[in-house]
Copies of this chain bind each other. A is one copy, B any other.
Amino acid sequence: MKRDFVSIEDFSNDEIEVLFVIADKMQSLLRQCHGVLAGHIMGSLFLEPSTRTRLSFEAAMNRLGGRVITISDAGASSIAKGETLADSVRIVSSYTDILVLRHTQAGAARLAAAYAPIPVINAGDGGHEHPTQTLCDLYALRSTKGRMNGLRVILYGDLKYGRTTHSLALALGRFGSDVLCIAEPGLEMPGYVRERCAAIPGVSETEVELAGADTVFGPGGRRGLLFSRDPDAWAHSQGRLHLDRVDCDAIYVTRLQKERLGLEDGKKGSSLPPVDVRFLEHRAFGEAIVLHPLPRVSEIDPAVDRDPRGYYFQQAALGVPVRMALISFLLGREAMRVEAPVPREERLWSGRRCANPACVLATASYQEALAWTSADGRDRCAFCDHDLR
């Protein structure tokens, strides 16, 4: 049976561990893998522009000796002739061996996976998921810290629209690492992500006031949100977290997603200080690597580029071996021999609609909406994970 990679939940922890062993091998043989996928074609369907992700996937497929056919501009495509996504996917997947899809709508990749007889990789479906970015983030942590469990990671910046932080928080929780969220005020992590993080067995959510960080944040009352298996180990008591007594492993910085900021958020700039040399002098960050999904605008000072802790460009480079490993596995060139996750139970729900206006089901003619029931007993859309109406 074919496997897809639409959500980070589609792979078990064990599978991710094995995938990274394959990625290690790919990285050491970068220019020697060109016989692996000779004769195979990737369909690279970027119906929302994303140069970096597209080039990273195309580089990965080419390093493996496969070929790529590309749509990088939805406007210029006959997909504009009124065709449904399901039809487009069926046609392109009949020309190719694996499909990489970027789309503006949440759930689009799951829909594609339902219609394509070949493996589908989600390269970003609106504000929903971008799971290969999460793989790269985890792989960067593993490459520098040697492990993915027992880490302390700060998520920093726009945690509302910066969707990469959502998947990363969940994945770190699954692997047994802790996350401290320091959000731009008004751009805090959404409730549904918080719920899912706090639902991870052993993890609790704690609102904290940051102390001992005035040299970084200025005096007075910056607040954070801690997801941890052991909150007290964070030098945390009575609602105060003493950052000057904590050793962080990484700070993951995001830019304000200006293209997603609606009117409600205005055009305000960041009130959080940028990560610069002075910022990194704080003792919490002595051993912390600085990560960023890129593109960076002004949230990280260019002077940090020359600091060995500034790891964001290496992080981007790692996207190629990680995606090579993923493609090789999905096309059956690498075997895992570890347990896959148990698929969640889904069932047809006719007569109901997804409540998410950004969901692909809001406009698509897909009649067979699938639902699953989350731990709290609510029926959710199997495509975008929002509540059903």
Interface mask (A14-42 → B, CB under 8 Å = 1, otherwise 0): 00000000000000001111100011110
Q: Is the CB of A295 within 8 A of B76?
A: no
Q: Given contacts A55-B69, A95-B320, are A33 and B39 in contact (CB under 8 A)?
A: yes
The answer to whether A246 has its CB under 8 Å from any CB of chain B is no
| A370, B283: Cα distance in complex, Å | 36
B interface footprint on A42-54 (CB within 8 Å = 1, 0 otherwise): 0100000111100
Task: Please encode chain A, from 312 to 323, with 1 for each CB lying within 8 Å of some chain B CB and 0 for all others.
Answer: 011011011000
Q: Is there an interface contact between A87 and B294, defined as CB atoms closer than 8 Å?
A: yes
Q: Which residue of B lies closest to A51 (CB)?
A: B77
- Check B295–A59 contact: CB distance below 8 A: no
Chain A 196-213 per-residue mask, 1 if CB under 8 angstroms from chain B, else 0: 000000000000000000
Give the CA-CA distance A95 to B317 in the complex, in Å: 6
Are B51 and A302 within 8 A (Cβ)?
Answer: no
Q: Which A residues between 42 and 76 are near B, CB-CB below 8 angstroms? A: 43, 49-52, 55-56, 58-59, 62-63, 65, 67, 69, 71-73, 76
Q: Is A232 an interface residue (CB 8 A)?
A: no
Whether B302 pairs with A365 at a CB distance below 8 angstroms is yes
> Are B34 and A38 in contact, with the CB atoms below 8 A?
yes
Q: Is A94 an interface residue (CB 8 A)?
A: yes
Query: In the complex, A67→B49 CA distance in Å?
Result: 22
Q: Known interface pairs A51-B77, A76-B49, A302-B365. Does A59 touch B95 (Cβ–Cβ under 8 Å)?
A: yes
On whether A296 and B87 interact (CB within 8 A), knowing A56-B95, A81-B259, A259-B81, the answer reads yes
A157 to chain B, nearest CB (A): 15
Report the nearest B residue to A71, measured CB to CB: B51
Q: Please determine whether A59 and B297 come into contact, CB atoms closer than 8 angstroms.
A: no
A264 at the interface (CB under 8 A from B): no
Q: Which of B91, B259, B314 contacts A294 (CB 8 A)?
A: B91
- Give the residue among A30, A78, A79 with the most B Cβ atoms within 10 A: A78
B67 touches A62 (CB 8 A): yes
A83 B296 Cβ-Cβ under 8 A: yes
Residues of B within 8 A of A97 (CB): 31
Contact present for B92 and A317 (CB under 8 Å) = no
A55 and B295 contact, Cβ closer than 8 Å, known pairs A39-B31, A39-B33, A73-B73? no
Given contacts A43-B55, A63-B41, contact A78 B49 (CB under 8 A): yes
Contact in complex: A51, B79 (CB < 8 Å): yes
Q: In the bound complex, do residue B92 and residue A55 qualify as a contact, i.e. CB atoms below 8 Å apart?
A: yes
Contact of A96 among B59, B296, B314 (CB under 8 A): B59
Task: Verify A78–B91 contact, CB threshold 8 A.
Answer: no
Is A223's beta carbon under 8 Å from chain B? Answer: no
Q: Flag if A52 contacts B297 (CB, 8 Å).
A: no
The answer to whether A82 has its CB under 8 Å from any CB of chain B is yes
- Annotate A107-141 by CB proximity to B: 1 below 8 A, 0 otherwise: 00000000000000000000000000000000000
**CB within 8 Å for A82 and B295 given contacts A41-B59, A52-B91:** yes
List residues of A whose CB falls within 8 A of some B CB.
30-34, 38-41, 43, 49-52, 55-56, 58-59, 62-63, 65, 67, 69, 71-73, 76-83, 86-88, 90-92, 94-97, 258-259, 294-297, 302, 313-314, 316-317, 319-320, 365, 367
The 8 A-B pairs with the shortest beta carbon distances in the complex, nearest first, are A94-B317, A83-B295, A51-B77, A62-B67, A31-B39, A59-B95, A34-B39, A49-B76
